[in-house]
Amino acid sequence: MPFWTGIRKTSVSLKDSDILIQEINTLIEKDAIEPVRQQDAATGFQSTLFLVPNKNSTMRPVINLRPLNRVEEEMNMTKLGKVALDILADVLYDLLRLDTYGDPYYQMYPRRDWDITSLYNEHRNFNLHTPRQSYGRRGYWGGEWSEICSTDIDNECIKHKVIRHEEKRSTGYKTDVLLDIPITDEGLENAWYRIESINGDDMPTVAPGIFHCGTYNPIWLNGLLPGYGDKNVTAEACIQTVNRICEKSINITITNCGSFYVYYLQNTTKNAAYCFGSGPVVCPPSFSSENGYYPGCSSSFPNETVLPMVEPILIEGEIYDAIPLNPKTPSLLPIFRCKFDEVSEGSYVYDIYWYINGNFIKKMINISYTQVNTTDMTYADWRNTHQLNMKVSCSVRIRYNLTNAIPSPFYRSTDFNAGLFPEHYEYTVVEGESVNIILTSTVPVGCIVSHPDFRKSQCHQNIYVFQPDIDENTKQCANGLAKRDILFKSQFCGVKIRSSDWQNNTFLQVYGFSDGLYNYQARTTYIRLSVTSVSMFNDMWMNLQLPDIK
């Protein structure tokens, strides 16, 4: 509601003015209205006070409430709009759940964490509903402006029905005669249709086989799909049966709309249906299977949730006699561990999958919680394929501790940034002054022993600094000075990451070299961090790669 309510200046006859004045004073006393300054008179809700005759010929004051009713209507419309937006957000959230179901890389947050703007942006970022690229078709949204301007509103590319979420029409899906109700287009209305499916909208041009496409008798295209710009192309669709790959023909019409097809389809015989798309069909929400696809989708899996996270740690390795310490202690090796809490105290087993930069690395199946530490990812798992800096993640799913048990959907960790990271990638240093570059290591440094004093004094990883445009061949700078641009204040041209406190920040102090000249332009240089040698306990640090620092 407006912050004040009042009555506009109202013209009345002189003989009736006392009636209005008395009414106004009464309303003020009851705090129904209040006087306002002249400059505020245009704000808030205003009504009019007028006189109507009584039966005894006297006059009585009446307030016109129509403006107030209009305000209330506007408020009600606002509330209805909010309800509509909430409903739309619920639909977008459910669609996002369908689109991402079975994706081990995707972290689906609760509905309360999304508003309609974030859901819309996520759909655009996820980009699943951008029609996929295929030969002869443009793979971007919409068309060119000249085409949009000349579009006929009755064009089939705009005016059509939609077949949505019928992924079982894919040629990769084989009908389970015991469980499935076969798709049949016997009652299909003759009309233009667009297919929206994560398996695609291409009609197959090869007979898919009996019982494929979620039906008994699949219908395929006996010819080629039209190229871009081809409209109303008449084509032959064939019904495949146990007797022939083209038992019966149906005339259909196809238009290539640039980023999708539309089909003018006719109804069919019983237990026959049109095929669209290819590839395996993902299990629906609340169902799972060994590979996340049909066949074998079932809801008979644990419904508990786990929240995995990647943890970099040092584990104990072999004991080496080369170091004369007493007592002898085991070596320390850096690894990544997929950490999560146990559920159901031993009645479940777990599958652990590892990924680097989104690429699958390895998996371990049917692991009891007491053996989860055997699923660590070591450097040997990604040697020669990846290098720091990189993004590491793990996914976990749960099974009943039974033979051939169906696993739950994947629960994926957030990406863990593994490597060495500067606070910024661009710094300004004044000539004759210095700046500290803060470096954070997220990966441990190993050691040949675990003795604390030896680790502190002897076990570290050197990170060298050089200017790529000057020292590319040597991979290091000379005497801390390069091209008279910058000077490094350290024991050597770089920094040390110590095994004993690798989690702590390291500082690289950079000085702007003073050349004694007046420089009317700013001087710019880049520095690069690299690793030229490692011990056998720190192989993962070799070939460290991160963007140059300006």
Cβ burial, residue 297 (10 Å; 0-12/13-18/19+) = buried
295 preceded by cis ω (within 30°)? yes
**Predicted local confidence at residue 454, as pLDDT:** 86
Centre a 10 Å sphere on the Cβ of residue 502 and count the other Cβ atoms it contains.
20
Total residues belonging to the chain: 550
Q: Rounded distance, CA 253 to CA 258, Å?
A: 16
Cβ burial, residue 348 (10 Å; 0-12/13-18/19+) = buried
Strands of the sheet containing 481-482, edge to edge, are: 420-422, 434-441, 506-512, 486-488, 481-482
Please answer whether residues 461 and 497 qualify as being in contact, where contact means their C-beta atoms are separated by less than 8 angstroms: yes
**Predicted local confidence at residue 211, as pLDDT:** 95
Distances (CA, A) of 473 to 423, 469, 528: 27, 10, 13
**Predicted local confidence at residue 479, as pLDDT:** 46
The H or E element containing residue 119 is helix 116-126
Please answer whether residues 420 and 463 qualify as being in contact, where contact means their C-beta atoms are separated by less than 8 angstroms: yes
pTM: 0.64
Distance, first Cα to last Cα, the chain: 55
Give me the tens of pLDDT residue by residue for the chain, a chain 550 residues long: 334 445 555 565 666 667 767 777 777 776 666 676 665 555 555 566 656 566 566 666 666 555 555 555 555 666 677 777 777 777 777 777 777 665 665 666 776 667 777 777 777 666 544 433 333 333 333 333 333 333 344 588 888 999 988 999 999 999 988 888 899 999 999 999 999 999 999 999 999 999 999 999 999 999 999 988 788 889 999 999 999 999 999 999 999 988 899 999 999 998 999 999 999 999 888 888 988 899 888 888 988 889 999 999 999 888 887 777 778 889 889 999 999 998 877 689 999 999 999 999 999 999 999 999 999 999 999 988 999 889 999 999 999 998 889 999 999 999 999 999 988 888 877 776 778 888 899 999 988 888 888 888 888 888 888 777 655 554 445 444 444 555 555 556 778 888 888 989 888 877 666 554 444 455 677 778 878 777 788 888 888 888 888 7
Q: Which residue in the block uniquely carries the two structure tokens 């076990």?
A: 459
Q: Rounded distance, CA 359 to CA 355, Å?
A: 5
Which sign does the torsion angle of CA 166, 172, 178, 183 carry? positive
Burial 3-29 (b: 16+ CB within 10 A, else e): eebbbeeeebeeeeeebbeebbeebee
Please answer whether residues 346 and 368 qualify as being in contact, where contact means their C-beta atoms are separated by less than 8 angstroms: yes
**Predicted local confidence at residue 522, as pLDDT:** 59
**Predicted local confidence at residue 69, as pLDDT:** 53
Which sign does the torsion angle of CA 418, 420, 423, 425 carry? negative
Question: How much is the CA Rg of the chain, to the nearest whole Å?
Answer: 36
**Predicted local confidence at residue 208, as pLDDT:** 95
- Residue 99, classed as helix, strand or coil, is helix
Q: Bridge-partner residues for 311, per DSSP?
A: 337
**Predicted local confidence at residue 164, as pLDDT:** 87
